[in-house]
Structure formats: structure tokens, C-alpha cells
């Protein structure tokens, strides 16, 4: 019988490892991690082991969380698994945390994933960062695909890090020789996690994302992995996996933020980032 809870717990660990590699500024917390990169980054996250038999959140846990992020001028964000208890949710609510968005965890056996045909003008291959110039070119494309612009000064190092991870196989997509998309497959034991994936805006809806998915699914099959997982938020490109790829929903996670201080911290993040030239 499929142990969905165990699989989701393993996926959570993969997710935490993915984020932790983006920064040297990470701290163990509640069986998981708190990760800080730079103000305004989507990689600022806290992931705990609540819901996997390792206790519930306490007021002291939340105080530690707030201190870690707010001392860095960053809005606290908690990744709350669907298996967390009502007690944990109550502690977060009491501390002023509310729902920011819902994240979907999807899974399938690699052999069950339906992939689309790769367009003839899209070439996908595994990336080996032997040349520093190639590494920076891929990092720039990865960042631009996510944010719509090249990485700001001081942030390129965080973007390079997942490209250099021994646990992640990186794929790049090219059209007429130009890098137009980047993605990663992280392997955790018998599970493959479809990690980061980004496509330059002007090349979207041309089959680039589907081609990157197909390459990673093929690799998972070669390795004989039991499961592939991916996280998605409504409106993201990975939604096509639920529509045509055959992946199923294993869990819904909540992204929690302090709703009573959100607008203040948002402005504080932006001002701090602007002062450090992270933003224009």
C-alpha cells in the first residue's frame, strides 16, 4: 500500500534541502529549517516537521521564527504541511499568522507520467558546469525566467548554488543555441523531486516547459525511481501536470505569514532591499 504521508514527508525534506542550498544563512528549527537569502526573495522560508510525529508548534517556536527573520528585515513565512495538527494551527493563529496561499503537492510513478512531444526547435540536455561562463549564463537565464529580469547585484551567488549541487541534475533548454529554460531534478532515495523550472517569458507557450519535464521524467525512469513529486501553486506552469500529465494530489500545504504586520514588513523588505541595491 502506498504510504502517502511518508512520501510527502520525504518530499518535504527534498524541498527543504533544495532551499537550504540557496543560502549559508540557515538554522535548524522544529525538526526542519529556517532559510534566509535576501529581502524580497521567494526562498525565505521556514519548514518544520510538525505533522510527522515530532510534536506541535509552541509559542517559543514562533518567537524564534520571528526573531530569525525580522532581525534580517525579512517577512516570516511558514510552510505548513497538511498533516500538522489543529494545535499547531492554533498557535500560529494566536501569533497573528494567516494564510497567504495554498501549495499543491503532486505525485506519480515515473512510468505513469504522460509527457508531450518535444518541439523540433527545442533542444534539451543535461548541464555540467565545467565552464564558469556557462554557469553564469545558465544562472542568469534561471533568474530571468522566474523574475522577468536579470539577477540583481549580490543575488547571483544564490542562483548559482542549486546548479552546482551534487544532488540535483540540471537540464537546460535551447532554441537556436540560446538558453531559454532551466530546470532541476533532485533525487532523494527512491523519490525524484521536480525542483526549480523556469522559462524566459518570450519563449513561453512554445513547449519549452514540457520539454524540460519530459527530460526529467525520462531520467527518473532511467534511475528506476519509485515516485516523482512536484509542488505547484495555482497559475504556475506545473499545473499542466495535473491537467495532462497524470500526476495526482497527495497533499495541500499552507503558506502562512503574519497577517497583522504583512503590509509593514512588505514595505520594510522593499526599503531594505532597495538600500542594498537588490531592487531598482
Q: What's the confidence (pLDDT) of residue 54? A: 63
* pLDDT (average), residues 118-126: 93
d(CA 56, CA 64): 15
SS3 per residue for 21-87: CCCCEEEEECCEEEEECCCCCCCCEEECCCCCCCCCCCHHHHHHHHHHHHCCCCCCCEEECCCCCHH
CB atoms within 10 A of CB 108: 20
pLDDT at 279: 35
Average pLDDT over residues 4-23: 77
CA 166 to chain centroid: 17
50, 57 contact by CB (below 8 A): yes
Among 119, 167, 166, 174, which residue's Cα sits nearest to residue 141?
Answer: 174
Helix (H, G, I), strand (E, B) or coil at 154: coil
Cα–Cα distance, 149 to 140 (Å, whole number) = 9
Residue 22 forms beta bridges with which residues? Answer: none
- Residue 8: name the closest of 253, 274, 280, 232 by CA: 253
Residue 63 vs residue 42, higher pLDDT: 63
Per-residue model confidence as pLDDT tens digits over 82-118: 788 888 888 999 999 998 888 888 889 999 998 888 8
Highest-confidence segment of 2-16, 32-46, 107-121, 237-251: 107-121
Could you tell me which residue, 214 or 278, shows the higher pLDDT? Answer: 214
C-alpha cell at 6: 511518508
Q: Which residue has cell 523540433? A: 120
CA distance 160 to 16: 17
Residue 244: the pLDDT is 66
Q: Is the pLDDT of residue 264 over 70?
A: no
What is the structure's pLDDT at 11? 80
Q: For 71-78, what is the mean pLDDT?
A: 91
Confidence of residue 33 (pLDDT cuts 50, 70, 90): confident
Residue (of 181, 162, 51, 164) closest to 122 by Cα position = 181
The answer to whether the CB of 100 falls within 8 A of the CB of 255 is yes
Phi then psi dihedrals of residue 55, to 5 deg: 95, 180
Is the pLDDT assigned to residue 269 strictly greater than 70?
no
The pLDDT, as a whole number, for residue 127 is: 92
**Range among 7-11, 133-137, 206-210, 270-274 with highest mean pLDDT value:** 206-210
CB of 72 closer than 8 Å to CB of 39: yes
Q: Residues 36-46: what's their mean pLDDT?
A: 80
Is the Cβ–Cβ distance between 271 and 265 less than 8 Å? Answer: no
Amino acid at each position: 500500500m502506498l504510504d502517502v504521508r511518508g512520501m510527502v514527508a520525504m518530499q518535504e525534506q527534498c524541498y527543504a534541502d533544495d532551499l537550504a542550498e540557496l543560502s549559508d544563512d540557515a538554522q535548524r528549527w522544529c525538526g526542519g529549517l529556517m532559510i534566509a537569502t535576501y529581502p524580497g526573495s521567494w526562498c525565505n522560508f521556514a519548514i518544520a516537521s510538525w505533522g510527522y510525529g515530532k510534536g506541535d508548534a509552541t509559542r517559543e517556536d514562533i518567537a524564534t521564527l520571528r526573531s530569525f527573520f525580522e532581525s534580517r528585515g525579512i517577512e516570516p513565512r511558514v510552510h505548513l504541511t497538511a498533516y500538522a495538527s489543529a494545535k499547531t494551527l492554533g498557535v500560529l493563529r494566536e501569533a497573528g499568522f494567516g494564510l497567504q496561499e495554498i501549495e499543491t503537492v503532486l505525485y506519480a510513478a515515473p512510468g505513469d507520467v504522460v509527457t508531450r512531444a518535444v518541439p523540433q526547435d527545442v533542444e534539451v540536455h543535461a548541464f555540467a558546469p565545467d565552464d564558469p561562463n556557462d554557469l553564469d549564463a545558465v544562472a542568469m537565464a534561471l533568474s530571468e525566467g522566474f523574475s522577468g529580469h536579470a539577477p540583481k547585484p549580490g543575488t547571483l551567488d544564490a542562483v548559482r548554488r542549486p546548479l552546482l549541487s551534487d544532488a540535483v541534475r540540471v537540464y537546460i533548454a535551447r532554441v537556436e543555441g540560446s538558453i531559454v529554460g532551466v530546470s532541476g531534478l533532485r533525487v532523494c532515495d527512491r523519490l525524484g523531486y521536480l525542483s526549480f523550472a523556469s522559462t524566459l517569458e518570450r519563449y513561453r507557450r512554445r513547449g519549452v516547459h514540457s520539454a524540460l519535464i519530459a527530460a526529467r521524467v525520462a531520467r527518473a525512469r532511467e534511475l528506476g525511481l519509485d515516485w516523482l513529486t512536484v509542488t505547484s501553486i495555482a497559475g504556475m506552469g506545473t499545473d499542466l501536470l495535473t491537467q495532462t500529465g497524470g500526476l495526482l494530489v497527495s497533499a495541500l500545504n499552507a503558506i502562512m505569514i503574519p497577517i497583522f504586520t504583512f503590509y509593514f514588513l512588505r514595505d520594510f523588505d522593499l526599503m531594505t532591499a532597495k538600500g542594498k541595491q537588490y531592487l531598482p
